[in-house]
Structure 1
């Protein structure tokens, strides 16, 4: 028995209202003229200007950009190669897939503690470099999953024909496979970049005590401990818009990679 269309529409409206009304309030309060972040006193853009004059926030944003770019590069490179290797060897069983995709299902707090323990046992000095290494570990599985989705519909006979014509493995990878996998690789990279920008728990555990390694989510956390300010609302809106744009681009590239050429 099918539910009435009006009931389905009502449930849909309620769900979207529950999800997006708080976000809409946050966006509206970012334009609030008054210093009270939860009481509307008039429209103003002054808090957006104030945000870009805050040196702590700008420094944290720069650190976040460095971490996201570097970790995305290595996670995309290693994740793509891993996806190709796993797909070639997929007939050997699924245990290796479980090991590869474990970081995707393990709670962030568990992965953060494990990485911190590893760095401590190896006497590795904590800093921005350990945050980058941790984000590579965290993002690698996501890139691998996106690229593997494209490999599932890849025509392997093309690669075999390239090998039969005398092309080496590297030439086949560069000239035949990568052009076809490019949309999935870009989608995986955009997803990894977004996850790295938004990630807090792993960065918090592996950044150390130096202020030079504070990322943007860590800076937001340190600011809201003393109460929500209008600058926090502005910063949250900018991070949200950036994440939505990046994820939308990743979705578009991923859709193209699944439909194929």
Structure 2
């Protein structure tokens, strides 16, 4: 996933990140143990920040790891964070840990995606939900957004598709604003353009049990004549030092009612 820089020089880029975080020069200076005057000089190009200062400001501004490398390069320094392919032998322990976690979560659905929503690992619980998805969407590399929103994917079976689609697209919009990725923007435009049939997305009444979840927006999926209700959660790695690891997200679907939980357990047994 490439990064598209819209400004030249590390100063304007840092100013863009500060403005995106909606904090003042003074507040950033306090966070970074500096002065507002020095921050101003850096942003206007009157002062060249040290490598340590670039990293300190990036940390205080919660800049993604990939973008920190970009800031360092623009400032004239070497990238600090590696980008190791997930199939590299050095990632063996990480892959094993993720596989163990996914197996432990079964029979409930769980999967791992990268920064472009490519599915890099999934458990049997997730595979069961993909019953009926068109074969061309199941050809690797699988993409979670396509699998969910494509008219030949899960979309026809999602009973609150309009709400769920809006939530997923908003999530992508937030990520695009953060990383400015051309590939992510292209994916967004593709999935946002998928048609939403009038009989889906909550327009059709469902005669099954109540799917009301007061604490979060549920994902309501029809499976083999049953209505399954899930609440999604996302976990990331703490303080990653590698770009690949920083962009991985472990997504789990927690049963939102006892009927869903019991049904999934019956399938696994």
Work out which structure has the larger RCO, using CA pairs closer than 8 Å and 6 or more positions apart in sequence. 1
The two structures have a TM-score, normalised by structure 2, of 0.26
The two structures have a TM-score, normalised by structure 1, of 0.26
Judging by fraction of residues, say which structure has more strand.
2
